[in-house]
Amino acid sequence: MRLVHLADLHLGFRQYQRLTVAGINQREADVAATLQRAALQIVDVAPELIVIGGDVFHTVRPSNPAILHAFRVLSMLRDRLPDTPIVMVAGNHDAPRTAETGCILRLFREIGVHVADAKPELFTFPNRSLAVLAVPDVPGVERPPLLPPEGFDHRVLLLHGEIAGMLPEHVATADRAAIEIKPEELHADAWSYVALGHYHVYREVAPRAYYSGSLDYTSSNPWGELREEREQRIPGKGFIEHDLVRGTHRFHPVAPTRPLIDLEPVDASGMGAQELDSAIRARVDSAPGGIDDRIVRVTVRNVARHVVRELDHAALREYRKRATHFHLDTRRPDPIPRRTGSGGGGAHQRRATLPEIVGERLRERPLPVGVDREQFVAIGLRYLQQAEDAAVAAMPVLES
């Protein structure tokens, strides 16, 4: 009894300004093509069950091309694997925030997909002695105890949500799920398998309980995902094949349509603009397979603002023209603690001001691709100043 577990398809995801010849956002087309390849791999695996852990679409109201592509892919799976049930839950990107707005996923019931979009549902398949408890990520809906039903040999929990303490801080704060569950609430040891969606990197959270990860790089911080995959030696994006009887487990990589390349960072300490230009050029020239039609980042650390202004911007325009997206992530040097003289002739470190602390934190925060760090910091400090000015204006005037 083998199942395939995939999640976080994010069809309709759009990024950057590149369009296909048909006028579709290039990244939207990339994500659709990645799903098509994954579906063909799933047909080759020929599982007895397919579970989809939510965030099928990137928005509650996806574009018509995204809906049509999902319909075609799921119809192809139903036609080629007619005896394989498909069970799907809504994720936080699928589920409307208001009860009167319907969820687009229920459309797929028309082609025989079992969908839990508004409330948890138990789907049973008696001829396989199989039960699937499907729990969507819907705010305000009471969640049942996550305990398997009796009378079935194979019991699967399908859930879109956030397992408390399992996600890195930048993921948990950037894209919060409505559902947050303590690990012990999963009762993972009581289930044949727990299929999770929401976290975009393949991860085991307990024996027989996994996040499959997304099929493509569709989060606000793909570079963080690349780093995690390198550190954990995960071969990129893909889906899971798990045998409920034998317990065998396999992660199937799916090649992304458009590779992301995070080039080796440059330490610009002591460099002038010409030296830094040469270092960036060296990184670009060393990119495996080149940068053409790819998504590329070069991080430059310890670079002063005036050096960035003096870079060869014609060369940077060339890189941006060649790549689908070229991101030069420049980061200023860490602030040097100021020291002031003491009465005894020595020195002591001055306590940092609030703007200094806020500025430093904003410079460390992971940013979505395409966000200018210096502009981000400047806006944050401006808001802080506005808040301070408002607080001063609201203070009562003391009369002498």
- Which DSSP helix (H) or strand (E) runs through 133? strand 130-135
What's the pLDDT at 341?
A: 53
SS3 of residue 314 by DSSP: helix
pLDDT-based confidence at residue 172 (cuts at 50, 70, 90): low
Who contacts 305 (Cβ-Cβ below 8 Å, separation ≥6)? Answer: 332, 374
Q: Mean pLDDT throughout 85-104?
A: 83
- The predicted pLDDT at position 175 comes to 63
State mean pLDDT over 176-201: 89
- Residue 58's SS3 state is coil
Q: How many Å apart are CA 26 and CA 156, to the nearest integer?
A: 36
Look at the block and give the residue holding tokens 């082609």. Answer: 111
* Higher per-residue pLDDT: 225 or 369: 225
pLDDT top residue among 138 and 126: 126
Q: What is the pLDDT of residue 400?
A: 37
Q: Average pLDDT of the chain? A: 88
Query: What is the percentage of the chain residues whose pLDDT exceeds 90?
Result: 66
pLDDT category at 5 given cuts 50, 70, 90 is very high
- Tokens at residue 282, please? 């060296």
Residues 6+ apart with CB under 8 A from 62: 11, 12, 104
Give residue 114's pLDDT.
Answer: 98
Measure the CA–CA gap between 209 and 53, rounded to whole angstroms. Answer: 13
The dihedral region occupied by 256, where left means phi > 0, alpha psi between -120 and 50, and beta the remainder, is beta
Task: Give the model's pLDDT for residue 397.
Answer: 43
Average pLDDT over residues 7-31: 93
- Predicted local confidence at residue 117, as pLDDT: 92
Q: What SS3 class is residue 135?
A: strand
The residue-averaged pLDDT of 182-193 equals 94
Cα 82-87-93 angle, rounded to 5 deg? 130
In sequence order, the β-bridge partners of residue 135 are 159
Q: Alpha helix locations (H) across the chain? A: 26-45, 64-80, 169-174, 222-232, 273-285, 305-309, 313-322, 354-364, 373-394
Using DSSP's 3-state secondary structure scheme, residue 346 falls into coil
Distance CA 224, CA 201 (A): 10
CA–CA gap between residue 16 and residue 258 (Å, rounded): 13
Q: Taking the mean position of all CA atoms in its chain, how far away is CA 245? A: 32
Q: What is the mean pLDDT of residues 340-357?
A: 61
Give the residue, 245 or 377, on which the prediction is more confident.
245
Q: How would residue 305 be classed by pLDDT, with cut points 50, 70 and 90?
A: confident
Q: What does the pLDDT average to over 27-52?
A: 97
pLDDT of residue 321: 94
pLDDT at 376: 84
Encoded tokens for 84: 């394989």
Residue 242 has pLDDT above 90, yes or no: yes
The pLDDT confidence band at residue 349, using thresholds 50, 70 and 90, is: low
Q: Say what the pLDDT of residue 351 is.
A: 62
d(CA 109, CA 102) in angstroms, rounded, equals 14
For residue 17, pLDDT beyond 50:
yes
pLDDT value at position 151? 94
Q: Is the pLDDT of residue 79 over 90?
A: yes
- The residue count of the chain comes to 400
Which 8-state DSSP code applies to residue 131? E
**What pLDDT does 200 receive?**
94
How many of the other CB atoms lie within 10 Å of CB of 88?
28
